Amino acid sequence: MYDIRAYGATGVAGDLCTAAIQRAIDECAAAGGGTVNFPAGTYLTGTIYLRDNVTLNLESGARLLGSTRREDYNADDFCPQNRVFKERVTGAHLVVAVEASNIGLTGQGVIDGNRQAFSDQTWDEHPHLFEYPEWRPGQMIFFCECRNVTITDVKLYNSPYWTCFLHGCEDVVIAGVRVWNDQRTWNGDGIDIDCCARVTVTNCIIDSGDDCITLRGAIDPLKDQSRVCQQVTVSNCILRTRCNAFRIGVGNGQVRDCVISNCVIWDTRTAICIISKYSEKSLGVNIENILFDNLHIDAMRPILVSSNVRGCQPDETVKLIRNISFSHLRGRARWSSYVTGNPDCLVKDISFSDVWFEYSGGADAVPPEKADRSYGEFGVKCAPAAFYLQNVDGVEFDRCRISWRDPEPGWQSAIMAQNVRGLLLDRCRLEAPPGGVECIRNGK
C-alpha cells in the first residue's frame, strides 16, 4: 500500500497535493500496481491520472477536494476522446483514467468537486438554480475506454458539473456509492454510463441537480466506434432529482439489453425518460430491450418514451425505440406519462404490467386541440390523460390501474390514444377522472 503522505501530501486544508498524489500513483503503477491510500485529512488537488492496476482508497475522514484554479487541471485537448460540452463548462476533470485497466476508487472517504467555490449564489431569474460560474470543471470523474473498473463505497459530493462519467468502458462495478449535488447545480448529473458494456450499479443513493443515472449512446468521441451501451443493470438504488431519475438516450449509437430493478424514486420531476433524439444534428439513439421492474415512484411524471425530445415531429427521420417493458410499478404523479413516436410509428412494443399510479394535479393539462406544440420533455408538459399515447405500434396494459386523489379540473381520461395500432388492455382498472369524459379516448 502506498501512503500519499510518504510522497509529500500533508492532508492540511489549503495545501495543494496534486504532484504528491500523482507521484504515489505513478510509483504504484511502475511496481505492478496496488493501492494508493489516503488517510484522514483534506487533500486539495487538481487533475490526477489513474494508471493500470491502481486503486485509490480513501479512508473515513479523507477528503479529496478539487482546486479552484484552472491551471491545476488538464487541458481541454489532453486526450482525443475528451469533449467540451456546450453547457458553459470546460473539459477539465478531477480524477481521470484513459484506456486504463484494473482501476478503482474505494473507501469511506469523500471526493469533493468543490462546487460551492465556483457557484454558490442563486440566480435572480431562476431562484431554484445557482448562477453560472465564470468557469468550472467538467465531469468530476472521467474514465474513458477503460476495462475492469471498480467504484465502491466512496462518497461523491459537490461536483460543479456531471459527477461520474464512464465513456466506452467495459466490465464496471459501481456499488454502495453516495452521490450528492445541490439540487440547484446546473447539469449536476449523478452517474453517466455512455457506450459502456457489462456494468452493474447497485446499492447507491443519488441526490443530484440533474439526471441521476443515464444510459447514453454518444459514440462520436471514442476511438472504438463499434461500442454499444449494453448489458447494464441498475438495482437497489434510491434516487432524487429535479430532472430525470433515469435518462436513456443521447447520441447516435445504441442502448440495448439493460435491466433496472428494485429502486425508489422520490421528489423527482420525471422518473424514467427514454428519448432517441435530442439534437437536430443527431440521428438519435437506437433503444431496445430495456426492462424496468419493481420501482416505487413519487414524481411529477412517471414515464416518458419519445422519438424526439420535443414530442411528435412529423417530417424527421429517427432511430427505433422498441421492446420496452415496465412491470410492478407503484407511485404518485401529477403529469401525464407519454409514449409518443413520429407518424411512421418508430416506437414499438411497449408493455405495462402490474402498474398502479395515483394521479393528482391536472390544472396545467392541455388538450390536443389547444396544444400549440407536441407533448414532450421540451414540449407541452401535461396532456389531459394519465397516459398519452401517439404514433405507437403495439402497447399492452396488463393488470394496470389508474386512480385519482384530489385531482384538479383538466383531466379527461385515464388513457388517451392517437394513431395507435395494437392497443391491448387486459384486467385493468382504469378510473375516469372526476368530471372527466371517459376512461379511454382512442382517436385517429
34-83 pLDDT, tens digit per residue, is 999 999 999 999 999 999 999 999 999 999 999 999 999 999 999 999 99
Average of per-residue pLDDT across 211-238: 97
Assess whether pLDDT exceeds 90 at residue 355: yes
* pLDDT score, position 346: 82
Average of per-residue pLDDT across 361-386: 93
Average of per-residue pLDDT across 95-119: 97
Specify which residues 408 forms β-bridges with: none
* pLDDT score, position 27: 98
Average of per-residue pLDDT across 380-394: 95
412-444 pLDDT, tens digit per residue, is 999 999 999 999 999 999 998 987 777 777 765
249 closest CA partner among 224, 268, 223, 270: 270
Assess whether pLDDT exceeds 90 at residue 151: yes
How sure is the predictor about 387, in pLDDT bands with cuts at 50, 70 and 90?
Answer: very high
1-46 pLDDT, tens digit per residue, is 999 999 999 999 899 999 999 999 999 999 999 999 999 999 999 9
* pLDDT score, position 443: 66
188-200 pLDDT, tens digit per residue, is 999 999 999 999 9
Residue type at 193?
I
Q: 68-92 burial, b for 16+ CB within 10 Å, e for fewer?
A: beeebbbeeebbebbeeeeeebbbb
117 closest CA partner among 101, 137, 99: 137
Average of per-residue pLDDT across 146-150: 98
Assess whether pLDDT exceeds 60 at residue 204: yes
All structural domains of the chain with their residue ranges: 1-242, 302-444
Q: What CATH number does the domain located at 1-242 have?
A: 2.160.20.10
Question: Grid coordinates in use for 99?
Answer: 484506456
* pLDDT score, position 314: 86
Assess whether pLDDT exceeds 90 at residue 289: yes
Specify which residues 112 forms β-bridges with: 65, 157
Mean of the per-residue pLDDT values of the chain: 95
Q: What is the 3-state secondary structure (H, E, C) of the chain?
A: CEEHHHHCCCCCCCCECHHHHHHHHHHHHHCCCEEEEECCEEEEECCEECCCCEEEEECCCEEEEECCCHHHCCCCCCCCCCCCCCCCCCCCCCEEEECCEEEEEEECCEEECCHHHHCCCECCCCCCCECCCCCCCCCCEEEECCEEEEEECCEEECCCCCCEEEECCEEEEEECCEEECCCCCCCCCCEEEECCEEEEEECCEEEECCCCEEEEECCCCCCCCCCCEEEEEEECCEEEECCEEEEEEEECCEEEEEEEEEEEEEEEEEEEEEEEECCCCCCCCEEEEEEEEEEEEEEEEEEEEEEECCCCCCCCCCCCEEEEEEEEEEEEECCCEEEECCCCCCEEEEEEEEEEEEECCCCCCCCHHHCCCCECCCCECCCCEEEEEEEEEEEEEECCEEEECCCCECECEEEEEEEEEEEEEECCEECCCCCCCCCEEEEC
* pLDDT score, position 444: 56
pTM recorded for the entire structure = 0.97
* pLDDT score, position 251: 93
How sure is the predictor about 132, in pLDDT bands with cuts at 50, 70 and 90?
Answer: confident
* pLDDT score, position 345: 78
Answer yes or no: are the C-beta atoms of 128 and 81 closer than 8 Å: no
Handedness of CA 353, 359, 364, 367 (dihedral sign): positive
Average of per-residue pLDDT across 159-186: 97
Query: What share of the chain in percent tops pLDDT 70?
Result: 100
Q: Which residues contact 391 (CB under 8 A, 6 or more apart)?
A: 312, 340, 341, 342, 343, 344, 345, 346, 347, 418, 419, 420
Assess whether pLDDT exceeds 90 at residue 122: no
Compare 314 and 297 and report the one with higher pLDDT: 297
The rounded distance, in Å, linking the Cα atoms of 367 and 358 is 20
